[in-house]
Amino acid sequence: MELRFTVVIPTYNREQLVVQAVDSALAQTFGGGIEIVVCDDGSTDGTMKALMEYGDKIKVVSTERAGPGGARNAAIAVGRAEYLSFLDSDDLWHPRTLELVNATIETSGARIVFIAPVIFSDGSRYVWADTDEGRGLDSVRIHVYKDLSCINDAIVPPQVEATCTVAALHRADFDRVGGFVAGQINAEDIDLFLKLLDVGPVAFIQIPCLLAYRGHGAQTNKLNAKNLQGCRLLLANRRSYPSGCGLRTRDEIVYARLWHILRSCIRNEPFSVAPMLMLARLSPRLAWHRFLSRVSRSNANVNVTNVRLI
């Protein structure tokens, strides 16, 4: 059987959580060919031992503190499927996630598919309600865009454009732009998507939510030093990103992401000086591009498609 999806799961010191993520990937109803590749990025707890217990149900590779981007690159290097599907080691998939994603690809021809998350607090295994499981559900709500630059922020907020919500990315597009930036840095996913601004079609499955996103204190997006390094990466690469064909300019998109990251930094550490200084330095440009982004929001490039579940 040809492989349709390579499920990529990077992990570090999450022996309790990664098994839940893997179990949710193994529980997928889609029968069209899935491989699961987990990369352990130098864990010092029992993560590797827990992964070895799956035997040949999954593939396991290892890196030595290559960061989330480097770990994903290592997992992708051994994958063989047409599409890449990203699942973080502290999150969970709905059982029908890849089934709906594949139906979306078949219907829209999407090269990238985002899924909507439902957020839950750490401490217990997320249980999908009866309505979440699609019992009696005949259709889902999907927004299709010409390319990534056409995405409407009013419908797809910046926090949705993150690696954990990408249930499908065509492997050829990933290879063309050179993959993720490696190292102990955040915003490596935003950098990747900015390199893919001219790729399309892009689909966003708004209903139902297909990802259970776990909120907890050990999330890497709460590490401000890595967040600020990510901001510097986006600024350094700003002029090298493609423009796409959307109503939003490249700079509007870059500065919208910077605004979101810096606000998160200040929420993480309200009295931290570094993000405040960067925010103050970038404020004129941030304000201007946020204004332009609001003016340019439009549904002109959006088609709402109903996909019947099989």
User: Where do the domains of the chain lie?
Assistant: 5-218+301-308, 224-296
**Residue 50 tokens, joined:** 């827990």
pLDDT at 289 exceeding the cut of 50: yes
3-class secondary structure, 225 = helix
277: CB partners within 8 A, 6+ apart: none
The packing angle between helices 273-296 and 250-268, to 10°, is 140
Q: How far apart are CA 35 and CA 279, in angstroms?
A: 42
pLDDT at 300 exceeding the cut of 50: no
- pLDDT (tens digit, 9 = 90+) per residue, 176-199? 999 999 998 888 988 998 899 889
Q: How far apart are CA 173 and CA 76, in angstroms?
A: 13
Instruction: Give me the pLDDT at residue 307, please.
Output: 57
- Residue 207: exposed, middle, or buried by beta-carbon count in 10 A (0-12, 13-18, 19+)? exposed
Quickly state the pLDDT bin for 89 (edges 50, 70, 90).
very high
pLDDT at 276 exceeding the cut of 60: yes
Residue type, 263: R
pLDDT at 201 exceeding the cut of 80: yes
CA dihedral 279, 280, 286, 290 (to 10 degrees): 90
For 5-218+301-308, CATH gives: 3.90.550.10
Q: How far apart are CA 66 and CA 188, in angstroms?
A: 12
Average pLDDT over residues 105-132: 81
Q: How far apart are CA 263 and CA 182, in angstroms?
A: 24
Cis bond upstream, residue 208 (ω within 30): yes
pLDDT at 113 exceeding the cut of 70: yes
At 168, give phi and psi (nearest 5°): -160, 130
Higher pLDDT, 163 or 48: 48
Q: How far apart are CA 173 and CA 202, in angstroms?
A: 12
Q: How far apart are CA 30 and CA 36, in angstroms?
A: 13
Percentage of residues of the chain with pLDDT beyond 90: 45
- pLDDT (tens digit, 9 = 90+) per residue, 151-169? 766 556 555 556 667 889 9
Average per-residue pLDDT for the chain: 83
pLDDT at 134 exceeding the cut of 60: no
Compute the half-sphere exposure of residue 200: CA atoms within 13 Å on the CB side of its CA.
Answer: 21
Instruction: Give me the pLDDT at residue 172, please.
Output: 97
**pTM score:** 0.85
Q: Calculate the alpha carbon distances from 122 to 49, 126, 196, 213, 216 in Å.
A: 23, 9, 32, 10, 5
Instruction: Give me the pLDDT at residue 224, please.
Output: 78
